Amino acid sequence: GAAIGILINWNCNLDTGSSQCHPKYSFTRLDTSISSVTSGYNFRYARYYKNAAEQSYRTLYKVYGIRFDIMVHGKAGKFSIIPTLINIGSGLALLGAGSFLCDLVLLYIMKNRAYYKERKFESIKPDPSRNDTCTRDEAQEEDSRELQQLTSLKLQANSSKDAEASA
């Protein structure tokens, strides 16, 4: 007898179609025929019986045969845009999370955190000599004046283009 291993290996690119996917077979002998007392695949088992006189006896069988161990390995892949976009989005999110964690460490844990805070956040201090405060109505009036100026400039530009086209 013998023990034979059959390895079936599938490596498939499913983008090219399943008709291009062919397995590769390899065979190997799993038992050692040289070093054992009885070569090949064999085993023993017993059957126990009792006769009419309640006397026990057994029959010992030694059997030989061929055992096939079939091992299947495989890998198949197909491109899909959705997992690709998910991976890209996850990577970009992790980059943002890395930046956030670095900011936390620099701004709250490091010894020079005051220096980093000063560099990261720019303070804007109002000039006390200027009086930039205005009411809501004044701001709306200023916005409408600017809008009228822009509209009149646009109309002037269009009329000059029309004059050039007719000349």
- For residues 6 and 4, give the distance between their C-alpha atoms in angstroms, rounded to a whole number: 6
Contact by Cβ (8 Å): 8, 71: yes
Query: What is the value of pTM for the model shown?
Result: 0.45
Give domain limits for the chain: 2-77, 80-122
Which pLDDT does position 72 carry in this prediction? Answer: 96
Which residue's entry shows tokens 């390995």? 73
pLDDT in tens for each of the 167 residues of the chain?
788 999 999 999 988 887 888 999 999 988 776 666 667 788 899 999 998 888 999 999 998 889 899 999 999 999 999 999 999 999 999 998 988 999 999 999 999 988 888 888 877 776 666 666 667 777 788 888 888 888 887 777 777 766 666 66
pLDDT of residue 7: 97
| Residue-level pLDDT at 143 | 84
Q: Which DSSP string do the residues of 8-29 spell out, in sequence order? A: EEEEEETTS-GGG---EEEEEE
pLDDT of residue 128: 66
Confidence at residue 154, expressed as pLDDT on a 0 to 100 scale:
74
Q: Token pair for residue 24?
A: 């590769």
Alpha carbon 27 to chain centroid distance? 36
- What number of other Cβ atoms are within 10 A of residue 5's Cβ? 15
The angle at the Cα of 139, spanning 133 to 140, to the nearest 5 degrees, equals 165
